[in-house]
Structure 1
Amino acid sequence: MLVTYLEASRDFCETDSIRFGAALAVCRIIGSKVSTAGRATGHSSAIPAWRRRIEERIAKARTLIGRLICFKSGNNRSRIVRTVRMAFALSQPDITQKLTERIDDLKQRIAVRGKRIRRYTERSTRFNQNRLFQSDQKRLYASLERPVVSGTGPAPNQADTVAFWRGLWSEPVSHSEGSWTEVVVSQCAGITPMDPVIITPDDVAEAVRRAPNWKSPGLDGLHHY
């Protein structure tokens, strides 16, 4: 196969198909078992079996609720009547009350199963995060980062921005302070100034030790742990 088809191939996808076909033929000739599932799509993204079962039960419950509500509103189609007849005896005098109770029961079951899916999903997320922390902390930190939301409006005009801040910082302003400032200055004249603050490595180590885990990163972009 390689001698016959590979030299005439001018496309990368075709070359890959020829090489795969040749390898598959060799494996079949020597009797080796080869699984070709997922070759075209890569990693499988199938829904877990437990979630698929719960979602199927929720879908069936919603379908039954819809048919019971249609029957209560006067819809007497054969499919709806057959569904209600399977659950209740239509000759019962309190059929309306029983339908209401059944609908409420199904809604409660749907709510419980929805909470179960959320609880299982959160547990699975925590498990995957713990496992990812052991193998690749960088990927875990990147997954915990929230996307930066920027404004969608027009950008400010540069000239207006410069004029605004220049009016606050560049132009001298003479303030007319009241007599209370002199009183404050006289009261603070006897206060000893505070010594300059010197931050030592021990101070930084103590602050980091008391900081909670997963604290938001600073300018260095590092998460605390």
Structure 2
Amino acid sequence: MRSILEEAILETRSTPLENRPRLPRIPLSKRNRAVVRALNPMLVTYLEASRDLCETDSILFGAAVAVFRIIGAKLPMTGGATPQSSAIPAWRKRIEDRIAKARALIGRLTSFRSGNNRPRIVRTVRMAFAGTNISLSQPDITQKLTERIDDLKQKIAAWGKRMRRFSEGLRRFNQNRLFQSDQKKLYKSLERPKVCGAGPGQDQADIIAFWRSLW
């Protein structure tokens, strides 16, 4: 058990932070608890000799990896992202589905407002106003359609804003991790790309002559 712990700690120290696997939770069975209790006293020597917080982090992460190996649990693949972490979150997929359905409904409502009375369009419009007292034959149906379309557009904007907040937070999280592991690489990624077509401009006299020729 001690040899497994030492090997795991050495591997963790030599592995960049972004390449560490994301460890899932293990079942809290009696056997797993016993393994953790057996490893805890062994960590005292390593923690007392730790020089900084980064080394302490490597020791604790290595101990977690050792627990996985001892109990025979399967470790996720390395590379900084597991299939679960790289996949689209379930809530984001739900929002994307809502946005797609809302856009499709806006298209049907707009088509009906423009005079398209096909059975499929009419059926969709009736479903959109289901549970309300709005009838498709009432005089102000055009106004009701416009209000419904505006409401859907506002919902799409709110959902899109939430997804942008998530993307921005994820971008900052990845930048923070990259800063801890490779600052030079981070600074290179932050460099602004060169503007395409940059170079000496045209002569001012030619520009004036060109625009005068248009009039």
Structure with bigger helix share is 2
Q: TM-score, normalised by structure 2?
A: 0.47
Structure with more contact order per residue of length (Cα contacts < 8 Å, sep ≥ 6)? 2
- Which protein shows a greater Rg? 1
Q: TM-score, normalised by structure 1?
A: 0.45
